[in-house]
């Protein structure tokens, strides 16, 4: 029904445009304003149904509903990846680079790649480029560095996600052990340069998030750093919440509010993370569950560093206000809550919960915007699954007189409704957890009716955005 209404509406508007001709009258500008269509794509990095359920239980209680839960269109999304050495072969667990590339370009590629094809290393046009070429405004907002893999896939093309600034392009190490080589993408070799350099030369009207340190590096082939280059290219640089709140400009905007990822809202008590249950070795012949010492329950508490930086909602409000000004053709905005994933890698359930809360507030801003801009498609999705699992506080096998404990790490959180939420991490035994290969949700407003099927791939989300915006 909604798609029919939209179709009839657009036919009427086309007739109006035809009758007004090319003259720049008040009526034509009004008509053009009505032709504008906007897409707000909200990505929860690693936000699978486990993460959503854990966060919902903590934030609004087991019977509660988040704003996310009221969105009327609900689909399941297949997350695809392929092997770098054999792009015909499926890989069942993705990373943010390849999955964001599927959302941003429609192409299924290999892990670590940003806007480029597996094996062949071809650059694939992305939504920011397509939308800008069609006259739409474009923006990205993220709680990660604006050069992190998920936002980067929407404006950049590079063989490896770690090449975020000029100093990372060759002979660089990540985690002091993994060698990075993007030398084929150096400008000196005819490439587009690092991700930060590509942001500056991209058609983006706005980029808000973290990642200041990447722009403090010297530009390839120049003595100036990338902040200077960005200003030369017409960006106004923002570095504080005050800068953001007092913004009054029609220039392009680059907001960099932390050296790297923005601080999250919540943390475990005193910074506690998930811990290993400790089985007692004293009574191993007649073990019972009581012989295992589980991590002590704790509450989530505010992360002190969060207070000084803009929230995702504050950045979203500014982005919507800026992008909707003089946007005759509309805009495309990608918003990412990044640390649902990052705090799951480090087994910090409270951190992930706070990031789902931030995403939900950014959605509230988007819904508020839609109330006065109805031709706006809101999509909320995740790029891939993550390690966190909601597990029982008391095992089903507690009566077996066996030492029942997880081989992974466990965190037990006292919820505001005064129960205990147990979250388990068991994909790895090193310092970081892995992603998982589960399908992820796609939630959308009524503009998605007739446009988004109940089961689709991330490439088909790209197709739906292109169709909606007539790109
Ligand atoms: Zn991750």
Digit-coded pLDDT (tens) for 189-231:
999 999 999 999 999 999 999 999 999 999 999 999 999 999 9
Catalytic residues: 96
Average pLDDT of span 402-406: 84
Q: Which of 23-37, 246-260, 316-330, 365-379 has the lowest mean pLDDT?
A: 23-37
Task: Give 84-91's long-range contacts (Cβ < 8 A, gap of 24+).
Answer: 84/110, 84/111, 84/112, 84/113, 84/118, 84/119, 85/119, 86/119, 87/117, 87/118, 87/119, 87/120
How many angstroms separate the alpha carbon of residue 438 from the centre of ligand 1?
14
Q: Which of 386, 430, 384, 428 is nearest to 406 (CA)?
A: 428
pLDDT digits (tens, 9 = 90+) for 319-369: 999 999 999 999 999 999 999 999 999 999 999 999 999 999 999 999 999
How many angstroms separate the alpha carbon of residue 358 from the centre of ligand 1?
18
Query: pLDDT at position 6, please?
Result: 36
Average pLDDT of span 263-270: 97
Element (H, E) at 337: strand 330-337
How many angstroms separate the alpha carbon of residue 442 from the centre of ligand 1?
19
Average pLDDT of span 28-51: 82
How many angstroms separate the alpha carbon of residue 96 from the centre of ligand 1?
6
Rounded percentage of the chain residues whose pLDDT exceeds 90:
82
How many angstroms separate the alpha carbon of residue 435 from the centre of ligand 1?
6
Query: pLDDT at position 418, please?
Result: 97
How many angstroms separate the alpha carbon of residue 268 from the centre of ligand 1?
20
For residues 460 and 468, is the Cβ–Cβ distance under 8 A? no
- The DSSP bridge pattern shows strands 420-425 and 409-414 to be antiparallel
Q: Is residue 21 predicted with pLDDT exceeding 60?
A: no
Q: Is residue 13 predicted with pLDDT exceeding 90?
A: no
| pTM reported for the whole predicted model | 0.91
Q: Beta partners for 390?
A: 423
pLDDT digits (tens, 9 = 90+) for 130-177: 999 999 999 999 999 999 999 999 999 999 999 999 999 998 888 778
How many angstroms separate the alpha carbon of residue 344 from the centre of ligand 1?
8
Burial of 306 (0-12, 13-18, 19+ CB in 10 A): middle
Q: Is residue 9 predicted with pLDDT exceeding 50?
A: no
Dihedral sign of CA atoms 182, 257, 237, 330 in order: positive
SS3 19: helix
For residues 193 and 166, is the Cβ–Cβ distance under 8 A? yes
């Amino acid at each position: 029904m909604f798609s029919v209404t939209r179709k009839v509406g657009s036919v009427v508007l086309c007739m109006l445009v035809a009758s007004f001709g090319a003259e720049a009258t008040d009526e034509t500008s009004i008509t053009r304003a009505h032709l504008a269509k906007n897409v707000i794509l909200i990505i929860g990095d690693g936000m699978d149904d486990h993460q959503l359920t854990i966060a919902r239980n903590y934030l609004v209680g087991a019977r509660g509903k988040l704003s996310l839960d009221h969105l009327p269109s609900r689909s399941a999304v297949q997350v695809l990846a392929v092997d770098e050495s054999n792009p015909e072969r499926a890989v069942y667990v993705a990373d943010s680079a390849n999955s964001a590339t599927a959302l941003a370009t429609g192409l299924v590629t290999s892990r670590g790649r940003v806007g480029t094809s597996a094996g062949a290393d071809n650059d694939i046009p992305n939504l920011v480029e397509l939308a800008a070429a069609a006259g739409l405004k474009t923006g990205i907002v993220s709680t990660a560095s604006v050069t992190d893999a998920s936002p980067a896939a929407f404006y950049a093309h590079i063989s490896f996600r770690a090449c975020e600034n000029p100093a990372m392009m060759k002979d660089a190490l990540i985690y002091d052990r993994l060698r990075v080589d993007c030398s084929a993408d150096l400008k000196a070799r005819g490439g587009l340069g690092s991700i930060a350099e590509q942001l500056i030369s991209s058609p983006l009207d706005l980029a808000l998030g973290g990642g200041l340190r990447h722009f403090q590096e010297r530009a390839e082939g120049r003595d100036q750093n990338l902040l200077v280059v960005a200003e030369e290219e017409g960006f106004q640089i923002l570095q504080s919440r005050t800068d953001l709140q007092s913004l009054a400009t029609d220039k392009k905007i680059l907001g960099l509010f932390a050296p790297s990822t923005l601080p999250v809202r919540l943390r475990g008590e005193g910074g506690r993370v998930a811990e290993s249950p400790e089985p007692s070795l004293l009574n191993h012949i007649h073990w019972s569950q009581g012989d295992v010492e589980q991590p002590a329950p704790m509450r989530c508490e505010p992360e002190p560093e969060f207070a000084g930086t803009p929230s995702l909602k504050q950045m979203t409000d500014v982005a919507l206000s800026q992008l909707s000004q003089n946007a005759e053709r509309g805009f495309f905005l990608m918003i990412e809550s990044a640390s649902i994933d990052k705090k799951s890698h480090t087994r910090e359930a409270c951190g992930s919960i706070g990031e789902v809360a931030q995403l939900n507030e950014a959605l509230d801003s988007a819904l508020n915007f839609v109330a006065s801009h109805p031709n706006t498609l809101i999509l909320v999705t995740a790029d891939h699954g993550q390690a966190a699992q909601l597990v029982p506080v008391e095992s089903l096998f507690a009566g077996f007189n066996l030492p029942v404990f997880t081989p992974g790490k466990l965190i037990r959180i006292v919820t505001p409704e005064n129960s205990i939420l147990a979250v388990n991490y068991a994909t790895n035994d090193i310092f970081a957890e892995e992603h998982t290969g589960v399908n992820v949700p796609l939630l959308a407003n009524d503009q998605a009716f007739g446009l988004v099927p109940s089961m689709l791939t991330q490439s088909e989300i790209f197709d739906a955005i292109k169709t909606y915006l007539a790109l």
